[in-house]
A and B are shown apart, each in its own frame.
Chain A
Amino acid sequence: MTSAEALAMIRPHPPAPHQRRRWAGAPYVVVGLLAAVVAALAARTVTLPVNSDLGLVQTLPPAYWVGMVVLNGAFVLALGSGAHHRTSQWAMATLLGALVVTLYGSASFASSTTRGEVAWRHVGIAESLVNSGQVTAQADAYFSWPGFFALIGTFSRASGVQALDLTPWAPVVNGLLWLAALALVVRALTSDTRRIWLTLWVFCLGNWIDQDYLSPQAFGFFLYLVLIALLLTVLSARAGLPPSWRPSELRVWWRARTPEEPDRRLRVGVLLLCVLLCVAMVASHQLTPFMLLVALLALVLVGRSWAPGLPVLLGLMLAIWLAYPASSYLVGHPPLRDTGLGAATAAGVIERLGGTPGHEQVVHVRIVVTAVIWVLAAAGARFVWKRGSRDLRPMALALTPFVLFPAQSYGGEILLRVALFALPFMAYLAAEVLLGGDRRLRLTRLATIGVVCSLLAVGSVTARYGNARFDMFTPAEVQATQRLYAVAPPDATLISGAHPTPWRYRDYLQHRALTVGDLCGPRHTGVACIKAVVGAARRNTEGGLVMLSRASKSALVLQGLMTSQAFDDFEVALARRVGVELVYQNPDARIYRIEPTRV
């Protein structure tokens, strides 16, 4: 053996190409994780209450934004370096996980208190279900769709973890579940790993809609994505475009379709699993099954579904559910009330464009972030069509949620839900145009993607946490609510200033809950408002308790429903009424007891 050969033996061998590629993303992961840690630590320095009409965005320190931009930069550079390749997908997954934790967990880093009143309420519903051990369908709409609450109640009891303790990090858990399911969806549409990862990233940034808290809609959306993934893979059909729209040729085209998955046993098994997912979805949420129904019909219409009976079965399940378990709710709430494009636009857009100048700016940012993704998606659709792709599925799935827009205003939230259900496919099409058709990403294109993603990240944080002034509660407000339940006689009416209150997490069915905002509205001010509130409490034989908090005042003022002065005047006048007594106060909340009318 020569000395050169001996040296070659002891010298470490250069890594094989696939090994080099496996670690290609490592430097970006290190930078990205450091950036995420910096952003998380910066978010922890936020002190409550948030006092800006712009929400959390104005109170987050510069280090947070530096971390967020560097994290986006690390992702884009990893994408350009080839780290997206199959052998280095762990790197992209880690960066994506870091983005989810940083973006969806910002408020949880700032405060361990559950954000948003609805999450508190959902805990109360789950608790009341398992406490009573039965479904009281007449109570309210939630009890007509009790599936998700039954799941949470059972999990809480089985695990020994309080349901309220599940809420602070629910957005992160739901975000990760959604992205895992979305990865299955996008993999069915493309084998290009760059497109897959960029779609997931853009989805994450574009999802400011804030429906990922502990809620039936978050659970339903996860099931929706898994169902769509199964329909685009195992239950998919191969078909070109129909040669013409003549019925005879359409019939031939329909019969010429073949299944993507040749194994019949696998298809039948997966179809049965899909039915189970549909059952859970129908029992858990009002809107999601309808979104799924239109998506399934769209896939059937473009000839890409090998399960054309599934939408029929889902329609049947929906009809049965509405006719029996949900019938008591539907008696007072006909499903086709508030229909029409005008009503949906007024409730979903125009009525939201009010309030203080800061709040209006937040609403505008929400519109801009959504519009940017929709415009990019439209450009992406045009781009892929011009390149000769005739896969109609992403376009169809991006557009089908809009079918439901004029069908129901959904309490003014229909546009938000439409945007959420369209987002996965909008993000996919947007990724197409952002990446372009080149095999190798040039520096200018990488820079463009980096700038777009960083701007979307800033917009997303602004939009998502734009209500932080009233939906992030202080410990004093939580303490006041605990006191409220401690002093409230059984069955007493509870009245809060506005919906943003950390309440209804217990004794959900025991107390009637009202708000000053609901009782007074914009028309009843001053004395009329006092009369309405006191009257509502006194009509109850147990009387009532009114809790006025910093968050509820902020909500009314920010949304332009009441001025700060009017709120203060209301409270002074309430405190002076005969039979009204202040029973608790702390820096952020006061509780007044209202005696019932003596007969």
Chain B
Amino acid sequence: MYDVRQLDVRRLPADRTGLTLLGLGVLCPLLLLASPPQPLRAILAIAMMGFLPGYALVRLTGLSEWFVVLVVSVAVSLSLSTAVSMGLLYASVWSWQLSVGLLGLVAVAAVVAQMRRTT
């Protein structure tokens, strides 16, 4: 298991996309929990459930062409959101806050794994 505390940001390469993703993976769920006004809330939910976690996972694979990355990221994010929401419903512990939090966690974990791989 990788310990996030061992991650020395100074040793990271200039992976701005990764750092941005990391920030968004933490910020988006927190902002959503604060129930911001529309349309910001809808935009954040679309990003969190329809793109970010998928994009973080797709970056791990090494797919590079932007259009492929875009379409596959959307498909993977929606699949992940489906799996997480459904899993929580079957476990009778569903809440949208928990779903979004778990998706954020997946995005952060994928970015950290990517950063660790490139250091």
Contact = CB atoms under 8 A, between A and B. Distances in A.
Interface residues of chain B: helix, strand, loop or mixed (majority): helix
A199 to B, nearest CB: 16
Interface in B1-55: 32, 35, 38, 41-42, 44-46, 48-49
A150 B82 contact: yes
A183 B76 CA distance: 17
Interface string A226-237: 100110011000
B75 A154 contact: no
Interface string A353-392: 0000000000000000000000000000000000000000
Given A129-B89, A133-B92, A284-B82, A273 B61 contact: yes
Contacts of A263: 62
Given A130-B94, A155-B45, A150 B85 contact: yes
Which size bracket describes the interface of A in this complex? 35 or more
Nearest to A271: B61
B63 A134 contact: no
A158 B96 CA distance: 6
Given A134-B94, A276-B76, A155 B49 contact: yes
Contacts of A280: 78-80, 82-83
Interface residues of B, number: 41
A562 interface: no
Give the interface centre of B44, B45, B67 by most chain A CB atoms within 10 Å: B45
Given A133-B92, A151-B85, A280-B83, A160 B72 contact: no
A270 B81 CA distance: 18
Nearest to A276: B79
Interface in A417-459: none
B41 A277 contact: no
B29 to A, nearest CB: 9
Interface string B57-73: 11011110001101110
Interface in A124-159: 129-130, 133-135, 146-148, 150-151, 153-155, 157-159
Contacts of B111: none
Give the interface centre of A157, A265, A266, A325 by most chain B CB atoms within 10 Å: A157
A567 interface: no
A276 B63 contact: no
Contacts of B83: 147, 276, 279-280, 283
Q: Which 3 A-B pairs have the closest CB atoms?
A: A269-B61, A159-B45, A280-B79
